[in-house]
A and B are shown apart, each in its own frame.
Chain A
Amino acid sequence: MAFPLFKKIVYNCKRATLLIVKKEEQQLTTIEKVQLSIHLHFCNPCKRFVKQSELIDHTLKHSEEILLDPPVYSLPEETRIKIQQELTKIN
């Protein structure tokens, strides 16, 4: 680890994960690409992060329906009655 710049790239998982997350949405700059590929070459945990992050994206896609089907919370009975009354009032 004689070169400070090298060390700065390899010993910065925070920056690497930020770039990983960014790359899922947009093109990285050339410098960012180089930094990330050097980092990933030396860092197994971040390599796992890449895969797992993709898997999470994939799982969460269209998960709105999954999250809500069936709905996880029940609107309390008192609130139902209250809303029904309000609706009747303005009817």
Chain B
Amino acid sequence: MSVSLQPSAWISLYGDYFYSMAMIKTGNKELAEDLVQDTFLSAYKAKESFKGNSSEKTWLTAILKNKIVDYYRKKDVLRNTDQYLSESEQSFDSSFFTTEGNHAGHWTTAAAPKDWHMENADNQLNKSEFNKILQYCIQKMPPKLVPVFLARFVEEEKAETICKELQLTSSNYWVIIHRAKVLMRSCLEKNWFDIK
């Protein structure tokens, strides 16, 4: 028997799930609500195209993800990347690396990676606490970095795919991945691994 769609149950089954996905990816309440609504409505209109090869949830997820990428393309998120990266370079650099004196180029004392308290990481009970921190760190990341960060580290897409989808040059891709990783590491250290 092939899988059939149950649009009447969509909101109760997937409402929070898709809303959370859209919130994590865009950080904007109204927008996330619109994206969820859009997804359900266009899925409903396209319900004939559902072949039942994948689950209903997977099918709807693909539609939402496309809508999010469309949004990224249309909005500022993906525009003026060169300008954004060069304008913010100095402030990024000076938050992490010494800019003057004998140690110029080295981590600043405050930002240098410290040993982590791993007992926190190994404790499964802390999983939901860790997720909160992770979300917090994603929210704190500059919005221009978030789509690339999520595509690379959470969705594990290939660099080539990400560059194509998000219209990035390869060198900007590396700058973004680098900054996102440095910021994420630092945020996790401060809020998770440094807490005894």
Which residue numbers of A lie inside 8 Å of B, CB to CB? 11-14, 17-18, 21-22, 25-26, 43, 45-46, 48-49, 52-53, 55-57, 59-64, 66-68, 70-76, 79-80, 82-84, 86-87, 90-91
Are the C-beta atoms of A86 and B41 separated by less than 8 Å?
yes
Are the C-beta atoms of B41 and A45 separated by less than 8 Å?
no
Are the C-beta atoms of B154 and A67 separated by less than 8 Å?
yes
Q: Give the most central of B115, B135, B185, B189: most A CB within 10 Å.
A: B185
Are the C-beta atoms of A87 and B20 separated by less than 8 Å?
no
A68 to B7, CA, bound (A): 21
Q: Which residue of B lies closest to A64 (CB)?
A: B154
Q: Give the most central of B8, B24, B36, B106: most A CB within 10 Å.
A: B106
Contact of B177 among A12, A21, A55 (CB under 8 A): A21
Contacts of B116 in A (CB 8 A): 48, 52, 55
Contact of B153 among A46, A56, A70, A76 (CB under 8 A): A56
- Interface of B (DSSP majority class): helix
A77 to B24, CA, bound (A): 19
User: Size range of the interface on B?
Assistant: 35 or more
Contact of A71 among B20, B41, B44, B106 (CB under 8 A): B20
Q: Which residue of B lies closest to A19 (CB)?
A: B178
A36 to B104, CA, bound (A): 18
Contacts of B127 in A (CB 8 A): 66
A79 to B16, CA, bound (A): 11
Contacts of A48 in B (CB 8 A): 113-116
Are the C-beta atoms of B105 and A12 separated by less than 8 Å?
yes
Are the C-beta atoms of A73 and B121 separated by less than 8 Å?
no
Contacts of B114 in A (CB 8 A): 48
Are the C-beta atoms of B96 and A14 separated by less than 8 Å?
yes
Q: Which residue of A lies closest to B114 (CB)?
A: A48
Are the C-beta atoms of B11 and A52 separated by less than 8 Å?
no
A66 to B93, CA, bound (A): 32
A56 to B105, CA, bound (A): 24
Are the C-beta atoms of A67 and B45 separated by less than 8 Å?
no
Within the complex, the shortest CB–CB distance from A64 to chain B, in Å, comes to: 5
Given contacts A75-B33, A75-B36, contact A63 B16 (CB under 8 A): no
Q: Let me know if B131 is at the binding interface, CB within 8 A.
A: yes
Are the C-beta atoms of B37 and A45 separated by less than 8 Å?
no
Are the C-beta atoms of A79 and B37 separated by less than 8 Å?
yes
User: Chain B 113-128, CB within 8 Å of chain A: the 1/0 string?
Assistant: 1111000010000010
User: Chain B 16-48, CB within 8 Å of chain A: the 1/0 string?
Assistant: 111111011000000011001100110011000
Given contacts A21-B178, A64-B154, contact A83 B93 (CB under 8 A): no
